[in-house]
Amino acid sequence: MEIFPALSLGWFNGWIALAMLAFLDGFLFLIFPKPVVARLWNRSGWSRKQTVFTVIGKLIALAGLILIVFTPLKTGTPVFYLGAALVLAALAGLANALFDFKNTPPEQPVTRGLYKISRHPQIVMSALVLLGASIAIGSWTAVILWVASHLLSHWGILAEEEICLKQYGEPYHQYLQSVPRYFLFF
């Protein structure tokens, strides 16, 4: 791992992991019914503070994405294999979480599949894809940007929980009490 690796355009850069993520999301969003996709992107009800922190986090994430795109993968090294394994596992988890979301009626909170062990498996899995890409390129700077962006995205996660609590009431409150937010942490 390096603090800031050399940047270059290339066929074997970190963009490959990002393309896999974009392809998975794009394909599933095309085959899912439009109301399901609309629910995934609904940000109504967010406070100004939640929106601002989330946007700042996304800008930091954009810097990390640019770094990933222009940094060659450290192929043949332990960090590459670790990062690639994390990317592939997280993509599988993300697909699973998206199908769990799709297959739950809109009048019910999503509590099946990965949602039994995390309240936000889509966000966690997407984050792990980006972490895996950051590791696969061997960049501490990308990892630090990943940490900063995801700390700030916590505000958006809190907003989603507030909205779900208003929408689903007591069943969601019980869900909040029994399932951790990020797999291991309540």
**CATH for 78:** 1.20.120.1630
User: pLDDT for 27-78, tens place per residue?
Assistant: 998 998 888 888 777 777 777 888 888 889 889 999 999 999 999 999 999 9
Looking at the structure of the chain, the number of domains it has is 1
Q: Is 48 helix (H, G, I), strand (E, B) or coil?
A: helix
Residue 147 lies in a domain: yes
Please state, in angstroms and rounded to a whole number, the distance separating the CA atoms of residues 186 and 180: 4
Residue 168 lies in a domain: yes
User: Which pTM does this prediction carry?
Assistant: 0.87
**CA 36 to mean position of chain CA atoms:** 18
Residue 7 lies in a domain: no
Residue 114 lies in a domain: yes
Token output for 152: 């700030």
Please enumerate in sequence order all residues whose Cβ is within 8 A of that of 27, keeping only pairs 6 or more positions apart, or say none.
none
DSSP state of 90: H
Residue 95 lies in a domain: yes
Give the domain extent around 55: 15-36+44-178
Residue 131 lies in a domain: yes
Q: Give the pLDDT band (50/70/90) at residue 139.
A: very high
Phi–psi pair at 2, nearest 5 degrees: -120, 155
Residue 8 lies in a domain: no
Q: Give the pLDDT band (50/70/90) at residue 136.
A: very high
Please state, in angstroms and rounded to a whole number, the distance separating the CA atoms of residues 154 and 157: 5
| pLDDT confidence of residue 185 | 57
Residue 185 lies in a domain: no
